[in-house]
Chains A and B, each alone.
Chain A
């Protein structure tokens, strides 16, 4: 039982970073109704921007973090302009494949500058807490706190500001949003930038927990985010959070009880089962609308 709870705790901590990735995914999906496969790779670019400053200038945590976020935002906007803004409306498949092409491009661009397999990333904290019979790693705790704070900020932004109202209006009905006088193109761009900020923070937290980065981070982040978003229900932010935490817990439990080689297998099996039996995700009822839209032809 102690083991089970310990795994659940670990899973929730790690899952908080998955939740951030899923939130970013869901924001983009919400305003675009299209899949941005390049989401992870653009975060990867940000993480490498951070690493570059760390290796070359021995920059501090804050500078590295800032570089990561700025890099992710710039790459995210590049993706938005080329794969989404420029591609004709109604051509969702073209956008998706285009985002894949840009993924390949970003990944190779990074490996040209960083030819080795892994590079160091500055750690956030190096302490471990003991709470009763349970252990909590410092960087996990910081990760969880940062993710929670960021989620609260995002919630305030979406539900308390005019800009948040515009994002939600575009997500629910872009045509109606235009009738309100909302500049939908601009809102989409800002939503991408916002998703990239969230992704950049997630990338920074994950990289500093791992204390290293690899060009494979892009692939990893895209699929973690995609799975977590689907588990929770596409287009729903509470769903993204729940999906991220669930994925973290599933992974932690399967590593403990079945072994590392079963971690992804179990995660994919749960994902598949969700798609078959509960395609709307954890919050199937609430996001019925989003699910219908997701099921539309891409």
Chain B
């Protein structure tokens, strides 16, 4: 079962850390990702660029408006996405509770929408044939 783990963090807190502290935290996270890989739980991941560089598209009066910044203005922004393979929600919680990233900010765990993903996969096939 595929779960998508959304890792949030506070950019200003992160910026306040020294370079060596940042490097150490990154190393810790990477090492745990390897741990997940060994258990065949790591399906993939994407790190996100700074939220300040984000652009939000939104319908406004019937047309698409382009807005500067992330969709929600909170201290903690989405920093990265991890695709996790787990038996069920309990295992996903157990695996992500040990991820060092959680020290940096909250993780939101969502299960993948299998039905829509199936449609996406079918579409992908049309373009690879």
Q: Do A and B bind each other?
A: no
